[in-house]
Amino acid sequence: MKRSLLFTAIGTVALVATAASLAADKTESEEAFDRLASLQGEWQGIANGVNTTLIYTLTANGSTLMEQCRPEKGHEMITMFTVDGDHLIATHYCSARNQPQMATAAISDAQKPLAFSLVRVTGLKSPDDFHNTGLTVIQEDNDHLTQEWLYDAKRKSGKNVFHFTRVRPRAS
């Protein structure tokens, strides 16, 4: 009996040590993705004067964070975030019917805001058409999120800043 308890205790210690070692082996980009994944759930804000809901869902066996942007008026959009080596990638499926693909620089600090820059855009009929060229995701705390979207339209650049607050489930 004592021997069985000893082996159980040793096995438990080894399992905990292995799990801690695996967590410590995460890259900065994986840690940044985990922080981004903490956005899972529903968020409310105003985008361009329109009440907007963001819904974040972890999908593809935990490898992709999907953001659904649902404005009260207008068309839904989707942005997919994933890790690619030492940086993160965001592909935005825009209501303008194009798909900007953006990436961060190599992540050196997982706690800093994530700044994505345009790599390429598919579905663009003309360089004059509206398309996003960058996105910065700023997680102020667990309940407040700011998105700064850069865009080009008719060869002019601009920036939209949106603020969102986490929707907490109501106690029943």
Q: 142: helix, coil or strand? A: coil
pLDDT-based confidence at residue 8 (cuts at 50, 70, 90): very low
Answer yes or no: is pLDDT of 6 > 70. Answer: no
This prediction has a pTM of: 0.83
Q: What is the mean pLDDT of residues 27-52?
A: 95
pLDDT of residue 22: 45
pLDDT of residue 170: 79
- The whole-chain average pLDDT of the chain stands at 89
CA distances to 24, 40, 145 from 55, in Å:
29, 7, 12
CA distances to 94, 117, 122, 139 from 101, in Å:
11, 8, 8, 21
Answer yes or no: is pLDDT of 86 > 90. Answer: yes
Percent of the chain with pLDDT over 90: 79
Q: 3: helix, coil or strand? A: helix
